[in-house]
């Protein structure tokens, strides 16, 4: 294939960024993304569903390791972005993809200081109480997976989460075939209609209402790469529900370089295990980045994995402020660096290629996925 080395550069950096003319409005860049289309499918044997769900990801490749990694070849990129689709009846299909390039640009990644711990001194997380907050945007977009992770509503029937919540890199987890998504709703108290029993000092009790998952998409980069350097880069999955959830959702977007984020910060909400039943919100500074990962010091515990990482920026075309999901919180990552373990909190960035893939999973039409 002629021109492959140049094409690989396009694959990893394609974008057309329009700088903001405003001095006070952080503005969403305009990206031109590649096109990813299915080329062939293969029916696979039904999975065993024998893996244990792991809410923490372990990787031997840290920040500097990721930065030193060579660019993948064209065939490797196609292989990583090919995917498996798991259906509720247990059937499994592998889809090979083709990639078509429409532009080029610069990465803009920048080296910054590192993060040290999962909880950084004073715990800066906020538990969200009361239906007035929990049922309103953006907190209402956070949902709980029956495997113990968090997910984010990104379309009428779709939830974005982390791949390790569904698949451990070798096999699907035990709860993946009967996977459900939980939506927090107020508990209904029978026999108290018309009675004013709400106290301003007592948060209203909530419960989860569950919807079954129809099918799940997991990129082959995660399935083939969990045990090596690139696995963390592909720790994302998309769930399609059996019926619409009828809530406002948050759109996905291509992750800008950290220096373009408002205040250099990211935000996300999740169901941390140390606060059962509570939705926990946090925001923090991004400390470093690679092309595929954001290294940050957001306080988090297992259970928050799969949360959608978002920012709020000005959308020039629509002349309004808009929140978008720019990454997926992969969780607390222990990294072996020269024999000494160090821990980071890591989020997977939605790159132009990942945007094209996830958007196609949602829309089923690449024409609606041209601008990130």
Active-site positions read 164, 229, 305
What is the per-residue burial (b if ≥16 Cβ within 10 Å, else e) of 91-108?
A: ebeebebebebeebeeeb
Contact 177, 48 (CB under 8 A): no
Contact 255, 350 (CB under 8 A): yes
What are the two backbone dihedrals, phi and then psi, of residue 312, each rounded to the nearest 5 degrees?
Answer: -115, 120
- Within 10 A of 8 (CB to CB), how many other CB atoms are there? 19
Which helix (H) or strand (E) segment holds residue 239: the answer is strand 237-241
Show the 3-state SS of 175-215: CCCCCEEEEEEECCCCCCCCCCCCCCCCCCCEEEEEEEEEE
Q: What is the DSSP code string of 267-299?
A: EEEE--TTSTT-EEEEEEEEEEE-SSEEEE---
């Amino acid at each position: 294939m002629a021109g492959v080395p140049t094409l690989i550069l396009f694959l990893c950096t394609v974008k057309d960024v329009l700088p903001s003319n405003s001095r006070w409005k952080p503005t969403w860049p305009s990206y031109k993304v590649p096109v990813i289309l299915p080329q062939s499918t293969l029916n696979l044997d039904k999975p065993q569903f024998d893996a244990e769900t792991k809410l923490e990801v372990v990787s031997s490749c840290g920040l500097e390791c990721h930065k030193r990694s060579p660019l993948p070849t064209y065939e490797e990129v196609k292989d990583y972005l090919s995917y498996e689709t798991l259906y509720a009846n247990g059937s499994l299909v592998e889809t090979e993809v083709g990639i078509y390039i429409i532009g080029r640009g610069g990465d803009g990644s920048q080296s910054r200081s590192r993060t040290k711990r999962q909880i950084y001194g004073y715990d800066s997380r906020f538990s969200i109480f009361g239906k007035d907050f929990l049922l309103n945007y953006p907190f209402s977009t956070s949902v709980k997976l029956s495997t113990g992770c968090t997910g984010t509503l990104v379309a009428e029937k779709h939830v974005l989460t982390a791949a390790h919540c569904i698949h451990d890199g070798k096999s699907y987890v035990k709860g993946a075939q009967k996977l459900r998504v939980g939506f927090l709703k107020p508990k209904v108290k029978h026999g108290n209609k018309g009675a004013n029993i709400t106290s301003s000092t007592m948060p209203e009790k909530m419960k989860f209402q569950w919807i079954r998952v129809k099918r799940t998409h997991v990129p082959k980069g995660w399935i083939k790469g969990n045990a090596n350097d690139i696995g963390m880069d592909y720790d994302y999955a998309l769930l399609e529900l059996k019926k619409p959830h009828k809530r406002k959702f948050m759109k996905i977007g291509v992750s800008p370089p950290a220096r373009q984020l408002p205040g250099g910060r990211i935000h996300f909400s999740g169901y941390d295990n140390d606060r059962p039943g509570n939705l926990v919100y946090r925001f923090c500074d991004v400390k470093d980045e690679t092309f595929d990962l954001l290294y940050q010091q957001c306080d988090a515990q297992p259970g928050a994995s799969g949360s959608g990482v978002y920012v709020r920026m000005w959308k020039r075309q629509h002349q309004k402020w808009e929140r978008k999901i720019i990454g997926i919180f992969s969780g607390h990552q222990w990294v072996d660096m020269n024999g000494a373990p160090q821990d980071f909190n890591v989020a997977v960035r939605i790159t132009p290629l990942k945007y094209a893939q996830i958007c196609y999973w949602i829309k089923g039409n690449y024409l609606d996925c041209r601008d990130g």
